[in-house]
Each structure stands twice: as structure tokens, then as C-alpha cells.
Structure 1
Amino acid sequence: MRIGLLGTGPWAGMAHAPALHEHAELEFVGVWGRRTEAAKELADRYGTRAYDEVDALFADVDAVAVALPPAVQAELAVRAARAGCHLLLDKPLATTVGQGRAVVDAASEAGVASVVFFTSRFLPETEAWIAEQAGVGGWFTAHAQWLGALFGGAGDSPFAHSPWRREKGALWDVGPHALSVLLPVLGDARRVAAAAPGPGDTVQLVLDHLDGASSTLTLSLSAPSAAAGAAVELRGEAGVSVLPESAEGAVAALVRAADALLSAARTGRPHPCDAAFGLRVTEILVEAQTLLDGAAG
């Protein structure tokens, strides 16, 4: 599969480009970015081509991987799908329901495959744990904590000055990770029962799930460095189960996400983390944001 990369920021350089370069079944055709010099620098690093025009890249590839802010991603994903490109997207899919639905509709109409890269979902330990706990069932409640120190630590992260993260905060940056783990185990969320702000950009949510369980989520990019980390705990008829840690990083996870896209493109069977799932996550985040905005007003 011939694939191109949209984006030249830290995430594109740290994760996407190396994953596309090392994947045995992908031909890394080129890079497009909103900053021409950055696209050339990244392309040169991996021995590929920098594109000045995004439509020219679409014409030369079978698929695109996107490492751009969600609002920009959604617009370009629609254009890529209409050009016949399969989609390897990042979370969140979009920041409005309309944008997300446009991506889903464009992919469906064009008959292209889509995979949204929720990092945890493509770690083998997490994948196995989700499958096991979903099979167990009988869960009563769950708690997920996704705490980053992006705004509360030393400030040396390359993502600390990301404009969209500064604007949207933890709800939109790490909230998708927590939801991507909880929903396949507890079932879809019937509603966001409560949403409350905490220190910095911290958000606490309560969800009611269709399978009868409730969950609470604590999300932050403002935690002290010593408090940062992710944890998920389930409690139910089978006792207590805790999400295992993984030793693997984002590049290995992205390689598996590319495997998933290849499989979906070849078989026509959608992956559980396709654009439709990404849209559902966006719908839940919008519902939570509406509650938070109402409380602030």
C-alpha cells in the first residue's frame, strides 16, 4: 500500500513517520504539511518526497496517515476519502459532530477503509485485556484516570505549546484514550450524567452505560509530573480487574494500526476503531463539553 503523511509536527516526527518508514507492507511515498520547509525536512529524514500540494499527494497514494489538529484533520480526511484514499487518522477524529459525520459519510460513500489511532487500543496488552473483560461481563462500575503533566510539569514537552491542546484541554486530548478502553468493555454510553471541572484543565465525568454499569473518568494535562499516568479499574461480579501496563511505545502501536488499516482495506470488514467509532467518541465529548460550558455559564 502506497501511503502519504499529512502533518509535520512533533507527533508526525516522533511516531507517524518512523512507523510508516519501517512498516514492511507500506511504501512511504511522501509528506505534506502546512509548513513547506518542515515537510521537506521530515521527508528528507526518511528518504521520501515533500509535496507542495496536498491533492497531488492524494493522487499518488492509496492511503494517508494524518498527524494534524482535529479540525484540520477532519477537513482533509473528507478530501482524501473522496480522492479514494484509505484513512489512518488520529484521535480525536474531530471536535464537532458535523465534522466527524462528514468524515464517516465521505469514507462510506467512497468505499475506503478507516482506522482512528487510539494509542492504547493498539497495544497488545490492552487489546487482550479489553477482549477478556468484555467477555467476562457483569461489570458494576469502572474508574479511569488519564493524567498528563503537559501543563503541570517541567514544560519541556514538545506538545506543551500545541494550540489545539491549549484550547481544548484534557477532555479532548486524553479523554478519547479513556473512552476507547471503557466503551468496548462496558458498552456504549447512554449519557454523560455529570461533568465537572477541576484544577487547571482537569475534568471529571460520570457516564451511564447501556450494559447497566457506570463509570467515572478523571482527565487532566495539568497534573504534577509525579502524579502523571493512566489507570483503569473495573469492579463487578468477577471481582476487580486493572488495566495492565505496556512496555511498548507509540511507534509499535502505530505499526499495528497500519496493520489494521491494511486488513480493513483488503477484507472490507471495518475495524472496531474506525471513523464511525471515532464519531461516537466525538459525540460523547461534545455532550460532556456542553455540560461543562453550562456549568461555567
Structure 2
Amino acid sequence: NSFCTLLAIDPAASAMDVLGSALCSFCAYSFTTVALYPYRDMAKMVSNHDLFPVKDPVNFALSRYKGMLGNPSIVATIAAPTTALYTTYTIAYDVTGSAMFAGAVGGSMHAAGKRAVKVFSHRMSQQTHRGPEYATAKDAIVRGTKMRGAFAWFQGVTPLLAPHILWYGIPMVTLTGRRNGPYGRSFFSDWYAAFKIHAFCSLLSAPFRNLFRPALHKVDYRPIPDWNSFLECEKAIYREAYVTGSRMLREAGPLYFFQGNLRTIFVTSLPWSVGYATYRMFGGPL
């Protein structure tokens, strides 16, 4: 048995169950991030006009890995939201026994993690006339929180709650039964089960994501010192989404809200399902 399986060997030991899920998910999705790092960027470049945008995939992969080695923290930042998903899902499931409630909690925390990572990446890329505004990741977290407020980490999170519960919470609910059900325990069967449900939920969540995407791109990452300021920022996002969504519905029709979903499946669902299968291979308790 793997180390993670040993950690979660006693179902009654909830703390060990949570720790096992957290460790296995972080290791699994860190491994998947490294293994599929060039693939993610390559898939993002695919369009209707150019299905094979990368003409030299070997050099492309080498250049992407070189960039990753120059900034190794990117692996942790990509894996962090999914680790939050698995960890909080496990906590909620162990405490309540309700997979649906756990899925809502896990999906919400995944959304919060994604926004926090987005803000962190934005801060680390900020430049001043003297160079980077934040010298280290710790500086971006500690000094950034003091200067901009704790709420600033989660600006734009409320529009993501529903799509992320659908996109990530529901797959967790569906896949939870695999640890007790009559399913095969092969890497491929785990990957295929996860890919099917995640791709389907990608389709379900596409209207929400396309509705709010333009508004979220306009987020200005301003300081948010208190709750009222946070609410005002969220209201502005909803107003912008309403204006943009109404205009696109008139101009492009309902299909606008499903645009890009096929590419999203290959960019997101395929790596996520590989991560899930790796999590199971590492002995993850879910």
C-alpha cells in the first residue's frame, strides 16, 4: 500500500483521512501539472483557424519546461486550488456524510482558490520603476494583504461559485462512490470515469463561465479594505456581466454561451481527470 493509503487506513480517523486526501491530491496534481505542462499551453493555442498551432512540439515543450524551472512555484499555485477542493470535500464529507453538501463546499473552495491564485499571479507580475513590486511570494502574500486587505484575494469569487460547484463539486460527488462501488481499479478506468463527468459538467457550467468571463477580465485588483468594499466590487462585476451578456445574446445568440467549450474540455477536463486517476493511484481515500 502507498503512504497515502496508510495515512487513511482507518476511516474513523477523520484527521488522517483529510491529511491523506490533501497530500495525495497535492502530489497527484503537482505531478500532473509537470507532466502535462507543455500540453496545457499547446491546447490553449488551438483555434478553429489553426488546429495545430505548434509546428515544433519538441522545442515548444523544452521552452515551456525551461520557463517552469525558472519559476517552480507555478506548479504549487496550479495544484493549490485542486488540493483545496479535495481537502475541503473530504472534511465536509467526513463531518456530514453528505456528498452533495461536500461537493458544494469543495467547489466553492476551489473557486476561492482559483481567485486567490489569480490575484497572487497578478501581484507577482507587477512591476515598478525599481523592478518587481514584490520580491518574493511571502512578500506578495504578507505585504500585499496589509496594503490591499484580505478581501482583495477573493475579488470576483462570487460569480465563480455556481460554475465551480457544477464543474468540480459535482464530479467529486459522482466519483466518491467509486471507492465503495463495483468498479475496476485501473488507471484508465479512473481517468475515463473522471473525464466523462468533468467534461459533461464543463458543458453545464459553460454558460456561467462565458457570461462572467469578460467582466472578470476587467477586474482592476484594487485594494479592498472591508466587507462593504468587497460587495461593491462584486456588484460591479454582475452589472458588467449583465450588460455584456445581454449584448452578446442579441448579437451572437444563445450559442455564444457555449463557445470554446470543446477546447476547455481538452485544456481542463483531460488534465483534471489524469490528476484524479493519479490521486487514486497514489492511494487517495476518495
What TM-score bracket applies, with the shorter chain setting the length?
Answer: under 0.3
TM-score by length of 2: 0.28
TM-score by length of 1: 0.27
Larger radius of gyration: 2
Larger relative contact order, structure 1 or 2 (CA cutoff 8 Å, min sep 6): 2
Task: Looking at secondary structure, tell me which structure has more strand per residue.
Answer: 1
